A and B are shown apart, each in its own frame.
Chain A
Amino acid sequence: MTVYLLRRLFQSLLVLVAMSLIVFVGVYAVGDPVEILISPDADQAERARAIVALGLDKPLWQQYLVFVQNALRGDLGRSFVYNEPALQLILQKMPATMELALGATVFAILVGLPLGLYAGLHPDSGGAKAIMAGSILGFSLPTFWVGLMLIMVFAVQLGWLPSTGRGDTLWGWSFLTPNGLSHLVLPSINLALFKISLVIRLTRSGVRETMLMDYVKFARAKGLSRNRVTYVHVFKNILIPVVTVVGLELGSTIAFSVVTESVFAWPGMGKLIIDSINVLDRPVIVAYLMIIVLMFIVINLVVDIMYSVLDPRVRLEGQG
Chain B
Amino acid sequence: MSSTTVAPAVREETPFRRFLSEFAASKIAMGGFIVFAIIVVLAVLAPWITPQDPYDLGTIDIMDGRLEPGAVGASGITHWLGTDDQGRDMLSGILYGLRISLTVGAGSALIAGLVGASLGMLAAYAGGRTDSVIMRVVDLQLSFPTILAALMILAFLGKGILNVVIALVIVEWAYYARTVRGSALVERRREYIEAAQCLALPTRRILFRHLLPNCLPPLIVVGTIQVARAIALEATLSFLGLGVPITEPSLGLLIANGYEYMLSGKYWISFYPGVALLITIVSINLMGDHLRDVLNPRLKK
Chain A positions near chain B (C-beta within 8 angstroms):
15, 23, 26-27, 29-31, 136-137, 139-145, 148-149, 151-152, 155-157, 163, 251-252, 255-256, 258-259, 262-263, 273-274, 277-278, 285, 289, 292-293, 296, 300
Closest chain B residue to A274, Cβ basis: B240
In angstroms, Cα B7 to Cα A79, docked, is 74
| CB pair B156 A148 closer than 8 Å | no
Closest chain B residue to A146, Cβ basis: B274
Nearest 3 A/B pairs, CB to CB:
A26-B156, A255-B145, A252-B145
In angstroms, Cα B255 to Cα A27, docked, is 28
Complex contacts, B158 vs chain A, CB 8 Å = 30-31
**B154, CB-defined interface residue at 8 Å:** yes
- A144-B239, A148-B274, A149-B274 known; A27+B156 contact, CB < 8 A: yes
Indicate which residue in B144, B148, B240, B285 contacts A136 across the interface (CB closer than 8 Å): B285
For residue B280, give the distance in angstroms from its CB to the closest CB of chain A: 10
For residue B93, give the distance in angstroms from its CB to the closest CB of chain A: 16
Indicate which residue in A30, A139, A151, A255 contacts B156 across the interface (CB closer than 8 Å): A30
| CB pair A140 B147 closer than 8 Å | no
- The residues in B between 179 and 226 inclusive whose CB is less than 8 angstroms from any CB of A are none
For residue B198, give the distance in angstroms from its CB to the closest CB of chain A: 31
**Chain B interface residue count, Cβ-Cβ cutoff 8 angstroms:** 39
**B123, CB-defined interface residue at 8 Å:** no
| CB pair A141 B147 closer than 8 Å | no
Complex contacts, B241 vs chain A, CB 8 Å = 274, 278
For residue B159, give the distance in angstroms from its CB to the closest CB of chain A: 10
| CB pair A145 B278 closer than 8 Å | yes
Interface majority SS on A: helix, strand, loop or mixed?
helix
| CB pair B267 A23 closer than 8 Å | no
**B80, CB-defined interface residue at 8 Å:** no
Q: Of B13-21, B67-75, B102-110, B258-266, which stretch is located at the interface? A: B258-266
Closest chain A residue to B136, Cβ basis: A11
In angstroms, Cα B153 to Cα A26, docked, is 8
In angstroms, Cα B153 to Cα A29, docked, is 12
Complex contacts, B274 vs chain A, CB 8 Å = 142, 145, 148-149
Complex contacts, A143 vs chain B, CB 8 Å = 236
- The residues in B between 259 and 293 inclusive whose CB is less than 8 angstroms from any CB of A are 259, 262-265, 267, 270-271, 274, 277-278, 281-282, 285, 289
**B1, CB-defined interface residue at 8 Å:** no
Complex contacts, B140 vs chain A, CB 8 Å = 15
Complex contacts, A292 vs chain B, CB 8 Å = 148
In angstroms, Cα B289 to Cα A289, docked, is 34
- A142-B236, A252-B145 known; A152+B155 contact, CB < 8 A: no
| Binary contact track B136-156/A, C-beta < 8 Å → 1, others 0 | 000010011101100111111
| CB pair B278 A273 closer than 8 Å | no
Complex contacts, B235 vs chain A, CB 8 Å = 142, 144-145
**B122, CB-defined interface residue at 8 Å:** no
| CB pair B156 A29 closer than 8 Å | yes
| CB pair A289 B255 closer than 8 Å | no
- A148-B270, A156-B265, A262-B240 known; A142+B156 contact, CB < 8 A: no
In angstroms, Cα B151 to Cα A141, docked, is 20
Most A Cβ at <10 Å: residue of B155, B158, B281: B155
